[in-house]
Structure 1
Amino acid sequence: MDSNNFKIINVSSTAISIEILDPSKFNDQFNLGSYIKIPYKSNDEKFVIGIIENYRIKDHDSGTEDTEPNDPSFILEVKLTGTLDIKEGGSVFERGGHGIPLPPNNGISLLTNDELESIFTTRIKENERFSFSKLTTTNLSIPINGNKFFNKHFAIVGSTGSGKSHTVAKVLQEAISAKNGKYDGLNNSHIVIFDIHGEYEQAFPNAQILNASNLSLPYWMLNGDELEQMFLDTGDRNNYNQSSVLRKIITDNKQKYNPDISKVHFDSPIKFDIREVFNCLCNFQNETINAKAPERVMIREEAGGYTGVNSITDTDGLLLTPDERMEKYFSEIFDFIPNRGSNVNKGVYADGTLDKFVERLENKIKNSRLDFLFGESSRDISFEETVRQFISYSIEKESNITIINLGGIPFEVLSITVSLISRILFDFGFYFSKTIPDGQKCKTPLLLLYEEAHIYVPKSDLLKYRSSKLAIERIAKEGRKYGVTLGIVSQRPSEISETIFSQCNNFIAMRLTNPEDQNYVKRLLPDTLGNLTETLPTLQAGEALLIGESIVLPSLVTIDRCSPFPKSSDIEYYEIWKEKWENVDFENILSEWKK
């Protein structure tokens, strides 16, 4: 390479322009994204390092017919990134602090692979190096700082077909296979994937798989906001009264099942029976009282107990204290004496206030698709069993990765499901940290990876997203202190909560075709990349901009192929359409549909 063919024509604090004097001698030595070194004047050990972002053509033709036409020259636009000291003991790279390269310009050249490797390994210890990609321009495998990548929330963004799922799979496959030293069995990685489309089971055959058929999520751990979001209708004019009744009944039922706890609140994460809450609501909805003695409840009675038969033997009704009334109302749904006649009045809530409320509650707890939340196993599961299933410490199987397949979760409870699991895992990290002696590190750091995060943590103030947004935003702001970090994956980053996205310190930005998404990502990227971000809409599948605290230089990389692949390959429509007509087993499909 003839360095005399290059001339520095413009210098600023962040960029320089280099003219190629004779393009015929250039021979395409540089590409967009290539790293070059430019020496200081009279210093053959210290260089300014830059990345080629763009080039333009400089026309030397005078435009008159009397002169010979001149070939144009090229101007390389170079973004400065740092300085490199090349010494016998090894090269040292420093971000920022750019020197001013002055003529003569001898020595301008591409960085060699050895020099590039020395830059990317600067200040990254051997046991911190984590690699899953190669530089697009040189095919050189580059390491990042694995600690800074996983303990500083990261985001992977890209349009459909950009290779996003393969990137997620490759990153996590490398993480669960890494080991310090030689030992048999699993390493100590703990990863929970919220998989909205069921893509990752194929990529992680040894993972713990949870779905609507085997997941047990204790409804009694829902907080107050989640319970109201689950059962109340914000558009109902009786919403305030319904909220008051719900709080009263659930609090009393929690006290019934937890008599040893002195202070029980609506938000307390302790057991209660949702079936008994439903019984009580139905009784409140239908109760009648003695008009002359309002403290007496008018329940139909027969010998042997109150079973709801039609015979009336005591028109005075039952005299019950408030506690006795609540206890009896929990036990079963009663048949009350009708309020016909002057001696029987409607109860407090027998005016239709609770009608829609009771109907919504019944639809929820009797819906077979919600058995994972309101079934017997969810009522009886212990807190320890709940946590164990999410971090794969179950008795049946231990695994580095737990995949929560959200595909079978009804959309109306998706946000609450994600919220509850996220809160449980955050609280686990928080209280685990309390048990660790001072000076010792977290022993089980967790990574929570949210696939298609824009679906359940969107930039929206709608009540149905409130619970999941609050839970994940709390992890984004506080989780790192307790060993709980986030991986945000999305094809629509502009639709994700800004609070969550802005906490990410590392980005793998793949092809983005939507202008809103492109501009949103550019604003959030932690490095000033200039025109390099303009490549976002033209990146090939598997290519990405790798940016953040974990990598020495922002880089255009090609993600290594994962093995095995996730179940995210495009369907070959045209090839399939050309095959012979296929019959469809509608009976089998409908039976699955009705589950």
Structure 2
Amino acid sequence: MKTDITYLGRVINVNSASVEVEISKDIPSAAPIINGRLYKLGQIGTFVKFPIGNLTLYGLVSSVSNTPSTIDNIDYEPDYGSRFLQVQLVGEKLGNESFEKGIGTFPTINDEVHIVTEDDLKEIYGVKKNGHIEIGKHASSENLPVYVSLHNLVLRHSAILGSTGSGKSNTTAHIIKTVLDNGEGARLILVDTHGEYSSAFEGKAKVFKINDKTNPLIIPFWTMNFDELSFFLVGRPDGQEKPEDKQLRDKILELKKANATLLKAGAVDVGYITTDSPIPFDIKKMWYDFDREMNATYNHASDHIAANECLEEEGDPSILKPAKFQPHSPNNTAPYKSKKLTMYPYVGKIYSRLKDSRYSFMFNPSDYYDTTSENDIDHLLRNWIEHEQRLTILDLSGIPFELIDISVGLITRFLYDSMYWGRFEEYTGRNRPLLMVYEEAHSYLPRGEKNSNVYGYARKAVERIFKEGRKFGIGAMVITQRPSEISETILAQVGTFIALRLTNSGDKGTVQSSAPNNMNSLIELLPSLRVGEAIIVGEAINIPSRVRINLVEPRPSSNDPDLAKAWSNVFASKEDNYKSVVKAIREQKNINK
């Protein structure tokens, strides 16, 4: 009714995209007080409602003007100071039923428009329901909690976006902690490329890190498919098949088939094994055999078999010590030089990879090296996703930058395959979903492989989760400060956007074009958001909202240093300074304090 204290004005224009509202001239104040609370009229991003009988439509104020969109309105009085609102409709509520997104009925000309009060917002957001978690407080009211659907947040995927210093790490930590507090059977894996989150979850997460004595991060080389392994070992590009590539493929297949009956997790039918099968084999023995075949000398010119070798000393594959042979004769006499030189371009490359200590987490995984090891990868899988803490942090800060792409790809594909092939098991798959969280996603999930260290291994694996994961119980969340650099396929499959302050126009445009519900007016607010404030749109939330994210303690170690305090200190110069820093650079290990 027009006599209600919430009465705002009337509808003067309706189209498929928005509704235009004229604020009533009879409203005495631009900031009325309703039930003891002050409301400011015409604020961008605030809500209004359209009561139509038993149906109430809700809309979001997208723009405010002192002139209507159609100047030919004969009742327009420019000197009176009339105000006009453009409103985007977002949902409706029928009688006492719950609020629903989407519009089935549009308002008509002269329909009443009312202010949405805090009580109205409580009806929209409701009380906490089963399967929902509190993500923060509504920006317009510290007393109004905002809930999101855990199912849609996880299985319909999500993205946390924001410029540096906007509160991304705090938002990520808050969501993870809230999920852990509300789900005893929850399982989350956080891919932490900078090692920021272990401090925020001390005692609440199992952290795997390279060279850690308790929980070392291990990614066995033999979990790579042939394209990945051959590219990493010898730089073989996709699609290439030179004679040495065929010999490498055949050798790997031979070694994997030889181990088929020796696997700790159970024997495998040899007929099903390919070079892509994740079966352990001794890669050092593979190098040793290639090197021996290439460098051996023989007593006979044509019969190059082991029995005719001119061997001086057996080597030791386990320490990469090659076999030694009598030097070949420069004349056409014994000892004869080997004719099997196909692998000459590759043997040195393979050796250099295996000797590089930075890659020991792949090539020297003592517990998962080959069939002589104590464990198979079922043990690794249980370590990662089946423990009492429920949150696993894979700290990749010690991994060489050029291996981040392939490491994330291997981790993702391994976990995806476990959920896919175990989707009907009672302890995993669809019966116990898994959330993958990818921090700093722009560095390894780019739109295109322009970076020489990013070849698309991670992107292809993560895209697979975004496209198909929900059917098998695996969801994903990406966190990035540069959404414009993220794979378009990933952004297109994101169901819920949690967008903090974004000042770059390209990044804001990416969110605007990717976000569901076409909430342009809210997205336009991104550059002006306060730290820790987010625009949330998508499937996990009842209605697009501006939300204050709760602060968490302890916080991730991503905050800025206290520059003023640091620079006010007096530092003594010592001869030992920087020795530990240089040692860390040389060993590629973090200095632990």
TM range (shorter): 0.7 to 0.9
Deviations 1:15-63 (A, max 9, x none): 22223354862223442221111233xx3x433211112212239xxxx
Q: Post-superposition shift, 1:450? A: 0.7
1:388 counterpart letter in structure 2: R
Does 2:79 match 1:70? yes
2:351 aligned with 1:347: no
The answer to whether 1:419 aligns with 2:409 is yes
> Is this contact kept in 1: 2:483–2:507, CA < 8 A?
yes
Deviation for aligned residue 1:331: 10
CA contact (8 A) 2:42 2:85 kept: no
- State the alpha-carbon separation in 1 of the partners of residues 239 and 474 from structure 2: 40
Give the counterpart letter for 1:254 in structure 2. Answer: K
Tell me if structure 1 keeps the 8 A contact 2:50–2:58. yes
Instruction: Give the superposition deviation at 1:415.
Output: 1.7
2:123 match: 118
Distance 2:43 2:240 in 1: 67
Query: In structure 2, which of residues 210, 214, 222 is the aligned counterpart of residue 212 of structure 1?
Result: 210
- 1:570-585 equivalences under 5 Å are 570-581=560-571, 583=573, 585=577
Query: 1:158, 1:511 within 8 Å by CA — same for their partners in 2?
Result: yes
2:582 is the counterpart of 1:590: yes
Shift in CA distance, 104/473, structure 1 to aligned 2, threshold 3 Å: closer
Change (3 A) 1:450 1:173: same
Contact 1:208 1:402 in 2 (8 A): yes
In 1: Cα distance, 2:411 partner to 2:135 partner: 29
Distance change (3 Å), C-alpha of 1:531 and 1:125: closer
Deviations 1:214-236 (A, max 9, x none): 11222222211211121122489
Write the letter of the residue equivalent to 2:135. Answer: F
- Counterpart of 1:371 (choices 353, 360, 364) is 360
What residue number does 2:495 align with?
A: 505
- Deviation at residue 96 of structure 1 after TM alignment: 1.0
Q: What is the CA–CA distance in structure 2 between the aligned matches of 1:445 and 1:7, rounded to whole Å?
A: 48
Partner of 1:405: 395
Q: Counterparts of 2:360 and 2:101 in 1: how far apart (Å)?
A: 57
Residue 453, structure 1, aligned to residue 445, structure 2: no
Which position in structure 2 is the counterpart of 1:95?
102
Contact 2:296 2:310 in 1 (8 A): no
What's the CA shift for 1:248? 2.1
1:191 match: 188
Sort the Cα spacing of 1:36 and 1:69 in 2 relative to 1 into closer, same or farther, 3 A: closer
Equivalent residue, structure 1, for 2:309:
299
The change in CA–CA distance for 1:3 and 1:348 in structure 2 (over 3 A counts) is same
| Structure 1 position 245, deviation (Å) | 2.5
For the Cα contact (< 8 Å) 1:120–1:144, is it kept in 2?
Answer: no
The structural deviation recorded for 1:196 is 0.8
1:321 maps to: none
Give the secondary-structure state (helix, strand or coil) at the position aligned to 2:130.
helix
CA contact (8 A) 2:435 2:477 kept: yes
Q: Report SS of the residue matched to 1:73.
A: coil
2:249 paired residue number = 247
- Percent identity over the alignment? 30
Structure showing greater Rg: 1
Partner in structure 2 of residue 357 of structure 1: 346
Separation in 2, partners of 1:441, 1:296: 50
**Which residues in structure 2 correspond to 1:25-174 (within 5 Å)?**
25-27=29-31, 28-40=40-52, 43=53, 45-58=54-67, 70=79, 72-87=81-96, 92-93=99-100, 95-103=102-110, 105=112, 108-121=113-126, 126-139=129-142, 140-174=144-178
Question: Offset at 1:120?
Answer: 2.3
Residues 343 and 296 (structure 1), Cα distance of their counterparts in 2 relative to 1, 3 Å cut: farther
Structure 1 alignment gaps of length 5 or more? 60-67, 180-186, 309-326
Of the structure 1 ranges 31-40 and 503-512, higher mean CA displacement relative to structure 2 is found in: 31-40
Task: Work out the CA distance in 2 between the residues paired with 1:57 and 1:301.
Answer: 95
> Is the counterpart of residue 231 in structure 1 residue 233 in structure 2?
yes
Q: CA deviation at 1:504?
A: 1.5
Shift of 1:86: 4.3
Per-residue deviation, 1:127: 0.9
1:485 maps to 2:492: no
Classify 1:134/1:545 alpha carbon distance in 2 versus 1 (closer, same or farther; 3 Å): same
| Alignment check: 8 A CA contact 1:224 1:266 kept | yes
Deviations 1:286-311 (A, max 9, x none): 23456643444663346xxx538xxx
Letter in structure 2 aligned against 1:470:
K
Indicate conservation of the 8 Å contact 1:145/1:551, yes or no: yes
Counterparts in 2 of 1:507 and 1:583: CA distance versus 1, 3 Å: farther
Aligned partners of 1:13 and 1:98 also within 8 Å: no
Q: What's the offset of the Cα at 1:444?
A: 2.1
Structure 1 residue 387 displacement after superposition: 0.5
SS of the residue 1:39 aligns to:
strand
- Provide the rounded CA distance (Å) in 2 between the counterparts of 1:339 and 1:75: 97
2:416 counterpart of 1:383: no
1:128 Cα deviation (Å)?
1.8
Q: Which runs of 5+ in 2 are unaligned?
A: 32-39, 69-76, 262-266, 588-593
**Equivalent pair of 2:429/2:472 in contact (CA under 8 Å):** no
In structure 2, do the counterparts of structure 1 residues 388 and 158 end up closer, same or farther at CA, with 3 Å as the change threshold?
Answer: same
CA distance in 2, matches of 1:576, 1:209: 30
Amino acid at match of 2:119: D
Q: What are the Cα deviations for residues 465-503 of structure 1, in whole angstroms up to 9, with x where unaligned? A: 232222222222222111111111111112222222222
Asked if structure 1 preserves the Cα contact closer than 8 Å seen for 2:534 and 2:547, the reply is: yes
Q: Which amino acid aligns with 1:258?
A: A
Work out whether 1:11 is the aligned partner of 2:14: yes
Does the C-alpha gap of structure 1 residues 461 and 331 become closer, same or farther in structure 2, counting only changes over 3 Å? same
Paired letter, 2:145: S
How far residue 204 of structure 1 moved from its aligned partner, in angstroms, is 0.8
Change (3 A) 1:96 1:339: farther
Q: What does the per-residue CA deviation read over 1:322-354, in whole Å, with 9 as the maximum and x for residues that have no partner?
A: xxxxx9xx996342541422035543443xx64
Q: Deviation at 1:356?
A: 4.8
Q: How far is the alpha carbon of 1:73 from its aligned partner?
A: 2.8
1:546 CA displacement:
0.7
The answer to whether the 8 Å contact 1:258/1:271 transfers is no
Superposition deviation, residue 85 in structure 1: 3.4
**Helix, strand or coil at the partner of 2:551:** coil
Shift of residue 443, structure 1, vs aligned partner = 3.0
Alignment-mate amino acid for residue 260 of structure 2: N
SS in 2 for 1:485: strand
Query: Which amino acid in 2 is paired with 1:96?
Result: I
Q: Distance in 1 between matches of 2:329 and 2:504?
A: 63
**Pick from 512, 515, 531: which aligns with 1:525?**
515
Given that residues 163 and 541 in structure 1 are in contact (C-alpha distance below 8 angstroms), is that contact kept between their aligned partners in structure 2?
yes
Find the residue that maps to 2:525 and give its secondary structure.
Answer: helix
**Alignment partners' CA distance in 1, 2:189 and 2:174:** 15
User: Aligned equivalents of 2:409 and 2:240: distance in 1?
Assistant: 26
Larger displacement relative to structure 2 (254-263 or 563-572): 254-263
